[in-house]
A and B are shown apart, each in its own frame.
Chain A
């Protein structure tokens, strides 16, 4: 198959997905009698600089979440537990930073490390259960998500303090805050300083997976476990490492907001980021650039939809349908394209074999 054709086929799948999602969303809106034109006018309008900052902020958080899920996916491990890992890790990081045991930026750095360790530890439970007892990580991480929710609620009650209506951890001292970056021109619009964390994690992901022995082993185990074992990979150790790494990255998800805006872990923390991260990783095909694109699209859709209720009288929740359909149609489209590719390759091989019967006779 020619290079151009292969590239074309790779691009056709996401295109199909976007068209399908747009179509389904429009049909749903038509079905309940809302204005389709107004919906797209609002969603596809050019965002103000303030909204652009929000989009970049949200996208960086989703990117981290997507990376966390993708590390597992590359090894055929479904870490559904990103949600629980990031919640418990963010709580731990916020609590530690709030204690202010260390001065200024050192406090920040160590708190981030604490969050990563706690995230990895929570994922480690699932990893150990899988390696020693053969428990599917899908089921154990679903259970651990719910347990994390209860545990964090309990710890917040025990260790947190009441501030008005909500309960939250002690506010982090101002010297440990991370200042924003004036990335986008406009008044008072600073992007989270720790957006850089997402950038670093993305580069780290790309380098480790594609340029190291560890990354090669990880991908090999994901492609074919038997082949990996035959080439000397210790699958158990890889499983442990991949899940711990995934959990550690999940621990980073809450950091940009914690040190850039909220400065404490409260009961108003945004939930569902872990599940959206899984969706983002699927849309981006676990590729570092693809995940970035997926995160941007998802963040763009959610931020733009906020205006729907006021300007068009449509519930912003419709965008969740759009996002879900994007995920489902992306995976279906890739599967269809993969089968189509396989069939073309098979016919090409068959044709080539039919053309050269003499060769096999010579060899006999």
Chain B
């Protein structure tokens, strides 16, 4: 077509469009003037114009809001809210389902939702299948299997609600060669464990491939997509048909060609051994970076699998160690009867293999891994060839040598962060940080401490100032001989304090050859924690103050926690910290608000924390304390403490409070056992030590109590309480004068703490006038601030003024004064114990 013709066509087309439809054809025929080509073309364009009226009319960006999403745009659910779930981006698409990220609006947590793909929306079989998948998965609880929460039928949509795992597909990690040898073993074993658990539940996965495995940033691997799974025919129930893949699934390709077993390719009956074959391919790929059977097309791939010839070498000629090769060969046998009979047997061999993996290092070693491996080889040699059970690291609180108390929070902050990160790095057993509570106050050499905690290595450090710059020094010390294996120095400008932790951790990790999958900047989603750095900093400051635990510091801690909560109201641990402060506030040692206010506030804060993070052991424990000290619901309190222990078996404070509760209830032996357990968990905590002494005091083993009080190198923080408890023991074992001396000394600093015991002791040795004077003073100050009636009662008991004593004991009962809960066991009450009114009080309190 020449230019003129083209110009003619266009101008006739435009002119025709000016006319009404009925006039157009006559005009076009006339205007074409006998040129057949022009006539044909214009007619065609006019016809196209009629059909194309809406073509391209909306800009593409408005038509397709998810332009870059992978998958059919018209089915995207992103942005919608369905049955209480706010749907986010699509995470992926499987054979029959689409998986979306979503926010569970009622529980405020991220979840993954699996919907049926558009093409199955009207397929009842597919719906039933999805429901069945949800049902069978919900019984399959395993750390390496993505958790299924529930199945929702919302009319138009049916979906399965699953745990959201933030991480990357194993397929991507393999393709990008981002797995280190150490992780390779680890990831492989996790997957095999998951499938073994499925097999135990009689479930065959049928679609094992790297694309169905997701590796979280901390290296935890989860098996996803049991969409093709089938349940093995149950021999014991011949009435039930085996739950074969449904019609729906049959219409899509079952499995993925390159990972299917020979029997799967041939459409034969499948059992666990089919999964074993697929696991073999996956493990091979993990170690050698490629699928052994993958060929240029599906047909050739299938032939390779049926042929069963496997060469154990990557493109670059790397191979696997012989023991592993034997395991893989056994998985990849064409004849199922020659394979492992199920994943559990494979798991057993793999575990055995890992225990001896240093024996033959013949796998690929990338440059970054080499350094790691060297360290591993050194330290693991102890583990694998020596007799020591495990390689373990204890991380000490860092010393603040800056003379700036504002930076105190860094001492625990840095160490705890290190513990947290190193726990997630491969190859280390980390001593729980709580074991080191209060360790700074002990003048012991760090290697000894490490040894006492069965650690091979100790990380210790300090923060100091040099020319105005903040410097952090960390040392890695061998506990065997106290030698310094490494020193790491990090210069931080003072104003960089917020990023200090990250910078330092990075440097420390480099220096200590710690490797972690998790990028330091991005903590990922952790329930209870915050993503806001300043909120986290305030939390650490709060905790620093809380650890010092005196009147001033508790106030400061509350202020810091409040700032953290203001910055991030979903910060569960800050709420828990707040609760821990409030629960102390009615105790004479710390605060002077009424028990009701103190416990109400504590309970409210703890509830907040538990709503956000149900497994928060600290908040759970506070609930127990409130139930103990305020509600006097002893059984319920015990349940809370035991739950806290379940949630965090290393949380010493739960045992600490539990021992107190059991003591109150007169269960002395159990109480002492719990106190000893707390001591085991926090061997260096003065508070726990003190509690142990108090437990023996309540059990009336005064000598044992005094022995503990005397052996613990007393510390400034707990000095008063230690002296106080010592004095109480002296009152009971007849050394009253010594008791009075100590109580007088305490009284000079903390009158409220000492006054009741002092007056009681004075009255006992006949100094009634002084005791009466103390009572007068207490009554006078009760006009201004809260004075616990129990304190006055205790003095009257010393004076044998029984009626007066009961007057105030009853008042204390009405006040629900916390310490009154020790009524049954507190030796100070022994003078009135035989009185009928006392027994009645015990009954009223449920302590009889």
The answer to whether A and B interact is no
Binding site for B on A (CB under 8 A): none
Binding site for A on B (CB under 8 A): none
